[in-house]
Amino acid sequence: MTEMRFIHETLGQRVRFGTGESADGVAAEIKLLGADQVMVIAAPSETTLARTVSADIPVALVHQDVRMHVPVEVAARARSAANDHRVDAIVCVGGGSTTGLAKAVALTTGLPIVAVPTTYAGSEATSVWGLTEGGTKTTGVDTRVLPRAIVYDAALMTGLPVDLSVVSGLNALAHCVDSMWAPRTDPINRALATEAIHALAAGLPKIVSAPESLAGREETLYGAYLAAVAFASAGSGLHHKICHVLGGRYDLPHALTHAVVLPHVLALNAPNAPEAEERIAGALGGDTAVRGLQELRHRLGAPRALRDHGFRENQISDAVDVILPVVPDTNSTTVTRDRLTYLLRDAWEGADPR
């Protein structure tokens, strides 16, 4: 009989989950912070929504200069704007890029963040930050960037198109899968990830069949939060190491890259991670984890090939060179140059890992 032994860290933040209640939730959180000069960060496409969400708080400025993967020059401009307006809190309304920019400001200023997600990215529930410079994406962990509070409102998700909902939801699913074998994984992370897979597998097909359905949006949002909490504790596994390189170095769309690469990483690792294989397969309702994932992806009409989205075949070798040094030592399957090359080639051409 083995002895269970692990160290688990739970990050401290408040979560408000209520459909149609985002404006009230944001106002309540800003009041708790005692802030009176708030910086609202939102991409141009989210500005109208952001103004509605922030209608009852003291807004000092609305900052719209948001870019995918948070280039360092974009972060510098946001930090300068926060300083110029002497802001004392940040409200970010949007997806992972918007949350990432808010984190970049908090990293150097310590300003508290209230995050209002409009995708299933999950960045709002982690203390992970990322900045891109010269084709290299650097990530780190710092408690200063963890949002003080999250305001979840499924009604804000109904404007997210189905195709973007699918890749964003599969990005959340990637958090679950990586949490099964990441460097700091433990039984609590695996339990959270398993429940998250159940919720995502139930919610995403409802979004595809009925995009305006709040039930599907709520289930998916709940699953995305659990997935992010598991990932925040477990750390980045092989999947995220691969996708951070592909996104930062070749400017590939973040969520879409995760959606395409995920089945290939799962196919590589599952044979040598029997407990994770059993959990994932059970949560997806498949006889194997990979088959369950692929059946879900088929139902969702998920993207299949990186070559359709900007990644070139002649970039595979370069990507392998950059990824190999950051492969976690704890990965369940030994990652060789040949294995990684085959994985990236399959993801590039859209091969079925089954």
Q: Give residue 193's pLDDT band: very low, low, confident or very high (50, 70, 90).
A: very high
* pLDDT over 90, % of the chain: 91
Domain boundaries, the chain: 14-157, 162-349
User: Does position 177 have pLDDT exceeding 70, yes or no?
Assistant: yes
From the number of C-beta atoms within 10 Å of its C-beta (0-12, 13-18, 19+), residue 211 rates as middle
Q: Which residues pair with 128 in a beta bridge?
A: 141
Residues 227/220/164/297 CA torsion (nearest 10 deg): 80
List, for residues 197-256, the tens digit of each pLDDT value: 999 999 999 999 999 989 999 999 999 999 999 999 999 999 999 999 999 899 999 899
Nearest to 202 by CA among 175, 232, 180, 172: 172
Residue with token string 């998250």 = 196
State the fold for domain 14-157.
Answer: Rossmann fold (3.40.50)
pLDDT for position 279:
97
Q: Which residues pair with 133 in a beta bridge?
A: 136
Token pair recorded at residue 65: 């200069």
The architecture that CATH gives domain 162-349 is Up-down Bundle (1.20)
Q: What is the pTM of this model?
A: 0.92
Nearest to 65 by CA among 54, 77, 53: 77
Whole-number Å distance between alpha carbons of 25 and 81: 25
